[in-house]
Structure 1
């Protein structure tokens, strides 16, 4: 891993932490808050790729595990990782990797802008929503005894916002690709 890769990984970890400064929205009927940090999955995967993006989230989880309050709402510690949101947090790593992998495979600099945006959007939906929801739902069901279908249904309230986040991430990734292409330079 090059110095450039380490810097990009650390930079995106910092961006994810900054996204956590935005206060979470807590809903009474589900123990998982709406946060901006989940958009970091899409941004990191689409902009810096699968490996570097996943490493950025692994670094974040390490910081959480040692007790640093770097999650949305100033949360940190092992209790957060073992709680109802733990599956979503673990899903961020895998989701970022999948988002980056899909983006690396389908988005090319030679494509038109609309195709690039569509590719980034698709990558964000698959990894940033599909993978994260799957892992989070499984853990939520196990952790709360809610039942898989009930836990999966609880995700429905998050879907419109996450689709909006995927659109924002796709536009941001396209802008970065045009101005400073990081994705094609995989580690």
Structure 2
């Protein structure tokens, strides 16, 4: 069975992890928007799930977890913060940020994979900031500007209000990831890749 899974390229364990993290990102949307810096800066926890997926799953599994979630959202399931779902969310101001979750998770995973078998908090935090914040904003801000009719510069300036919350989420994601990796070495993407290459993956 393991040989057959390896030939297909989709080990059962990997598919299970993808499903778990797609569900985790959805669950983190249940609280809706949180106004933690006053009434003008609402944040959601789902980008925390995107960062965690990248840091724990690695490149392709993290991206696939986000793709699974967004397909379910497009099918109409209310899995985004505030109970949003359906194709309409991909035509709104936040559409670019949602699509940006896919490369954001992948880049986070790619950076963590290159951090080796024992990535530290700082490297994990940097990976989460680059992928889970920088890449997501790179996709989200231009789309937000186009949909709302403002300049890219104005949209970028407005988005800076969310940076404190995103920084907190990146640090929290790195702490959770590091604790998970210490308890379960397979949660280190570099270790998982090595085991797959040597035929020890599950």
TM-score by length of 2: 0.84
Name the CA distance, whole Å, in 2 between partners of 1:11 and 1:36: 16
Measured against aligned partners, the alpha-carbon deviations of 1:87-106 in whole angstroms (never above 9, x if no partner) come to 00000011000000001112
1:124 aligns with 2:128: yes
Q: Confirm or deny: 8 A CA contact 1:67 1:77 kept in the other structure.
A: yes
Q: 1:185 aligns with which of 173, 188, 192?
A: 192
Name the CA distance, whole Å, in 1 between partners of 2:45 and 2:56: 17
1:149 aligns with 2:156: no
Q: 1:89 aligns with which of 87, 92, 98?
A: 98
Name the CA distance, whole Å, in 1 between partners of 2:87 and 2:39: 23
Residue equivalent to 2:83: 74
Q: Confirm or deny: 8 A CA contact 1:107 1:116 kept in the other structure.
A: no
Structure 2: gaps spanning 5 or more residues: 1-9, 197-202
Name the CA distance, whole Å, in 1 between partners of 2:39 and 2:122: 34
Name the CA distance, whole Å, in 2 between partners of 1:22 and 1:36: 8
- Which contiguous aligned blocks of 4+ residues in structure 1 show a shift greater than 2 angstroms? 25-30
Measured against aligned partners, the alpha-carbon deviations of 1:141-180 in whole angstroms (never above 9, x if no partner) come to 1111111000000111100010000000000110111111
Q: Confirm or deny: 8 A CA contact 1:108 1:116 kept in the other structure.
A: no
Taking the TM superposition and a 5 Å limit, the aligned residue runs for 1:1-187 are 1-25=10-34, 34-109=43-118, 116-181=120-185, 182=187, 183=189, 184-186=191-193
Q: Confirm or deny: 8 A CA contact 1:65 1:77 kept in the other structure.
A: yes
Q: Which has the larger radius of gyration?
A: 2
Matched position secondary structure for 1:9: helix
Name the CA distance, whole Å, in 2 between partners of 1:35 and 1:171: 19
Name the CA distance, whole Å, in 1 between partners of 2:29 and 2:168: 17
Deviation of 1:138 (Å):
1.0
Deviation of 1:59 (Å):
0.4
Deviation of 1:108 (Å):
2.4
TM-score by length of 1: 0.91
Name the CA distance, whole Å, in 1 between partners of 2:158 and 2:144: 10
Larger RCO, structure (CA 8 Å, separation 6 or more):
1
Matched position secondary structure for 2:77: coil
Number of aligned pairs? 180
Structure 1: gaps spanning 5 or more residues: 110-114
